Amino acid sequence: MVKKRIYLDWNATAPLLGSVRDAMLDALTLVGNPSSVHAEGRAARGLIEAARRDVALLVGVSPANVVFTATATEAANLVLSPVYRMGKAQLSIGHLYVSAIEHPAVRQGGRFAADQVSEIQVTEAGLVDLEALERLLGAHDATTGLPLVAVMAVNNETGVIQPIRDVATIVHAHGGLLVVDAVQAAGRMTLAVEENRADFLLLSAHKIGGPKGAGALVARGETLMPAPLIRGGGQEKGHRGGTENVAAIAGFGAAAAFARQGLEERNAAIGVLRDRLEAGMRQAAGDLVVHGADVVRVANTSFFTLPGLKAETGQIAFDLEGVALSAGAACSSGKVGASHVLTAMGQDAKTGALRMSLGPSTTVEEIDRVVEIFARIAARRKLSGEAA
């Protein structure tokens, strides 16, 4: 009998929720352009505005502060801009500071030239180094413009939750703006902008059961916005031109509504499974190193190195056994590169690390089977180690 595959790669992308699929199929039957004033257009507009309300509720802002984009990567390129506008006034950003563990969507620096971007170190535990941030901003040359800082809320590889509130305090004390990539935090922890004080958030629908190809830039205030990246017919109040992808946005709204409901209970249950998984793996291999385990992580992620097992080899071995997981982040080219997150944490990036990320439909049976498979792979690794 062919065994069902086990999907433990929710941080790469989450399976589409049934409610999302329904919302998208309904939206696809609508004919109107959301900018048209006739009834058909207004019906499409209605779906977009309902989705905007759901996304806004997820992060605790007014719907007016949500700009839909095609992806979080696009939202990053929109917000990482050397030019901002406040009404008719223009504001210059002199330098961009990004944490060393940011996703490439942010780490590439958006619309800044390479020499306008500096990295903020992280600690061995995988937390942004607040003293390093303080030092960098203390040395910022204000004559070039304001500092812009980007620190993610949750790292996609380790699951480590970053001290965003503390980062915001430092950034604001230096007159800067803070962009928070909340892609991996959405649906995995509460994300109230008023609490964490981020000036901008990045979101992606496909990490929370929505469709791929829908993202958002969320602003805390309504006045200060980056210069548009895509100019056109004035959609999204001029912040993002182009006819909206109504079905994708409707799906994003449905996913945001799901993410908000029962968030704590859902993540508590996922945390029990993740802890069972890590306990089982530790029992099978006492030398297992779980990255970020000493600090606070989201409940669904486990990022580990098994000495003697190259991450690439491990990934293939698990895949052959029917388990989908990843070796670090899912690389667009499909190849496994050295993890910049591990390197930034001062870990040996040569062996690499494997990431298992769980979701709401992960079961205890699946976790127990994964532990069994892990034990077999770990034992084989020992045997080949002895033979070598």
**Residue ranges binding ligand PLP (CB under 6 A):** 71-73, 103, 105, 152, 156, 181, 183-184, 204, 215
Nearer to ligand PLP, 147 or 211 (CB): 211
**What is the smallest separation between the CB atom of 72 and ligand PLP, expressed in angstroms?**
3
What gap in Å lies between CA 138 and CA 132, rounded to an integer? 10
Nearer to ligand PLP, 225 or 248 (CB): 248
CB contact burial 270-301 (16+ within 10 A = b; e otherwise): beebbeebbebbeebbeebebbbbebebbbbb
Nearer to ligand PLP, 65 or 184 (CB): 184
Nearer to ligand PLP, 65 or 71 (CB): 71
Nearer to ligand PLP, 293 or 341 (CB): 341
What gap in Å lies between CA 206 and CA 135, rounded to an integer? 36
**What is the smallest separation between the CB atom of 16 and ligand PLP, expressed in angstroms?**
14
Residues with a known catalytic role: 331
Token pair in block for residue 274: 């993740």
**What is the smallest separation between the CB atom of 190 and ligand PLP, expressed in angstroms?**
17
Tokens 């959609």 found at: 235
Which contacts of 243-246 are long-range, i.e. CB under 8 A and separated by 24 or more positions?
Answer: 243/33, 243/34, 243/35, 244/34, 244/44, 244/48, 244/68, 245/70, 245/213, 245/214, 246/27, 246/30, 246/34, 246/44, 246/47, 246/48
Strand-pairing partners, residue 203, are 216
**What is the smallest separation between the CB atom of 326 and ligand PLP, expressed in angstroms?**
10
What gap in Å lies between CA 137 and CA 126, rounded to an integer? 20
**What is the smallest separation between the CB atom of 286 and ligand PLP, expressed in angstroms?**
31
CA 65 to chain centre: 19
**What is the smallest separation between the CB atom of 238 and ligand PLP, expressed in angstroms?**
22
Token pair in block for residue 369: 């089977």
Number of neighbouring beta carbons within 10 Å of residue 173: 10
**3 state DSSP class of 229:** coil
Nearer to ligand PLP, 229 or 317 (CB): 229
